[in-house]
Amino acid sequence: MSDTNALYRDLERLVPYVERMQGSEAAADPYRLQFHLMPPVGWMNDPNGLCRCGEWRHIFYQYSPFNAEGGVKVWGHYRSRDLLHWEKLPVMLYPDQPWDVHGAYSGSALVEDGILYLYYTGSVKYTGEYDYINDGRANNTALAVSHDGITVCSNELLMENADYPKGLTRHVRDPKVWMQDGRYYMALGARTVDDQGVVLVFESEDKNHWKYINTIMTPEPFGYMWECPDLFELDGQWFLLCSPQGVGKQGNRFQNIYTSGYFPLYGDFRGCYTLGEYEELDCGFDFYAPQTFLDEGRRLVLGWMGMPDAEYGNPTVQNGWQHCTASLCELKLDGGKLLRVPVPELDALHRRKIDPEQAKVFDLSCMSAGAGKIVIRECAVLEWENGKISLSLSGNGGAGRTVRCSETDAIKDLRILADTSSLEIFVNGGSRVLSTRYYPKHETCGITLAGIEEISLWEMGAFEISDMQHCCFAKKS
Ligand code: FRU
């Protein structure tokens, strides 16, 4: 930015410094993933600002470089032309303004004429005897603009808590902005004073001035807070994607502390609407805060392969880093429901066909008739019968994770994307997905298979990630 302040200038030096000092320890961890994005050091959570701008796909993410267990949030940045070769770019947003000084929280990107408009939540927390729900924090909506897709040239406060409608707590965040019918729309996740999760809809003619126009909610409360909302249309059907907090377990549904999923939305999000039944987007241990974007007509979705406030953990913290993104998927409509299908670009990482006893980092596709069982690297067991599937993790392999079950239609086909320390299990073409981190012993390899046929098993290669930090510094000086 032209008028940078001292906080910005110090953070801009400190982040690359800590990445240089601690990055090699993180990089040497055998649990580093091969084809998922991770923080160079420290902590990652939500994907942010996902967009296609010219030939580039940008992935920003919530990044705490100084603390592998979560700390002050900046926007980390990767970009790619082909979703296989990635450039790690300098941090895009630092918490350096009065409205975001305790964190540049989640948000989205609007692309117009090659310019990135990054809408995000500025977090401020006051010190004192506050409940931090109705008092003690500010959730501000801000707009940072980038002309080169690498650095921010302006940043301004658009709305603060007093600008949101009445009846809300201080929890109002994660703007998702898009253009439609010649206007701009923004969805913001919120918690009401009655502890109900809702989504606020705002409208603007100029990207800067926003008018509240509607609230989207269920007739009965469904959780106390809806984080990371996203509203989009797919093949004529509207959906509200969000990450509700405070939804209690119901049989095999909502087994994690927080859920993420979607409601079909009938009618108009700007006026009269009804929400259909909520569907979870993932039934594994680690998937949260997904966001979508349009990529040449494809509606792509990227989630965080982690779970906030979970009772299980990740041993990678000992090596100074934690968490990763899930695999990028395309959303497809199937009988009113959404399928999550890994982008075909990932197939280019197929190295060679392997035998089951060689499997470590792999892509397995198979068909199933009735019941079956797959044991992966001695610590993950996937079992199914008719429409019921369970994923059990054992011992240190689960790092506290035990079992997750899901009920669906009869299980016909499965695809497993297994990275060094993650499993993503796509059932029936992606109508059910179970994502989890797992920690097999490094030397263990091999899978055993029962009840499946038409097996295709590939060893997977790795993303290529180049560090553009130094080039950018060179350019500036
Ligand atoms: C979801 C979330 C968002 C918030 C961000 C902070 O995981 O809590 O609501 O903006 O993480 O990192």
Tell me the per-residue pLDDT of 321-369, one tens digit each, with 9 for 90 and over: 999 999 999 999 999 999 999 999 999 999 999 999 999 999 999 999 8
Catalytic entry in 3, 29, 46, 195 = 46
378-422: per-residue pLDDT in tens?
A: 999 999 999 999 999 998 999 999 999 999 999 999 999 999 999
Looking at the CA of residue 174, tell me the nearest atom of ligand 1.
10
Residues near 437 by beta carbon (within 8 Å), at least 6 away in sequence: 285, 286, 305, 306, 314, 324, 399, 401, 421, 422
Average pLDDT of the segment spanning 59-65: 98
Token pair recorded at residue 474: 């060179």
Question: Distance from first CA to last CA of the chain, Å, rounded?
Answer: 14
Are 49 and 122 found together in one domain? yes
Looking at the CA of residue 288, tell me the nearest atom of ligand 1.
7
pLDDT at 369: 86
Report whether residue 228 contacts ligand 1, using a CB cutoff of 6 Å. yes
At 469, the pLDDT band (50, 70, 90 cuts) reads low
Are 15 and 50 found together in one domain? yes
Ligand 1, pocket-test mutation among 106, 132, 198, most atoms within 8 A of CB: 106
Nearest CA to ligand 1 atom 9: 227
Q: pTM of the full predicted structure?
A: 0.97
pLDDT at 2: 61
Q: How many domains does the chain have?
A: 2
- pLDDT of residue 10 exceeding 50, the answer is yes
Are 23 and 83 found together in one domain? yes
Could you confirm whether 195 is annotated as catalytic? no
At 370, the pLDDT band (50, 70, 90 cuts) reads confident
d(C-alpha 415, C-alpha 458), whole Å: 11
Question: Would residue 441 count as lying in a domain?
Answer: yes
Measured in Å, residue 181 CA sits from the centre of ligand 1 at 29
Are 311 and 416 found together in one domain? no
Question: Would residue 194 count as lying in a domain?
Answer: yes
Are 98 and 225 found together in one domain? yes
Are 18 and 89 found together in one domain? yes
Which residues form the domain of 216? 6-341+465-476
Question: Would residue 1 count as lying in a domain?
Answer: no
d(C-alpha 145, C-alpha 115), whole Å: 7
Are 163 and 289 found together in one domain? yes
The radius of gyration of the chain from alpha carbons, rounded to an integer in Å, stands at 22
Are 411 and 269 found together in one domain? no
168-196: per-residue pLDDT in tens?
A: 999 999 999 999 999 999 999 999 999 99
Measured in Å, residue 297 CA sits from the centre of ligand 1 at 28
CATH number at residue 379: 2.60.120.560
CATH number at residue 136: 2.115.10.20
Are 127 and 140 found together in one domain? yes
pLDDT at 89: 98
Q: With helix as H, strand as E and coil as C, how does the chain read?
A: CCCCCHHHHHHHHHHHHHHHHHHHHHHCCCCCCCCCCCCCCEEEEEEEEEEEECCEEEEEEEEECCCCCCCCCEEEEEEECCCCEEEEEEEEECCCCCCCCCCEEEEEEEEECCEEEEEEEEEEECCCCCCCCCCCEEEEEEEEEECCCCCCCEEEEEECHHHCCCCEEEEEEEEEEEEECCEEEEEEEEEECCCCEEEEEEEECCCCCCEEEEEECCCCCCCCEEEEEEEEEECCEEEEEEEEECCCCECCECCCCECCEEEEEEECCCCCEEECCCEECCCCCCCEEEEEEEECCEEEEEEECCCCCCCCCCHHHHHCEECCECCCEEEEEECCEEEEEECHHHHHHEEEECCHHHCCCEEEEEEEEEEEEEEECCCEEEEEECCEEEEEECHHHCCCCCEEEEECCCCCEEEEEEECCEEEEEEHHHCEEEEEECCCCCCCCCEEEEEEEEEEEEEECCCEEEECHHHHHHHHC
Are 134 and 25 found together in one domain? yes
Question: Would residue 347 count as lying in a domain?
Answer: no
Are 43 and 134 found together in one domain? yes
Are 194 and 277 found together in one domain? yes
Question: Would residue 223 count as lying in a domain?
Answer: yes
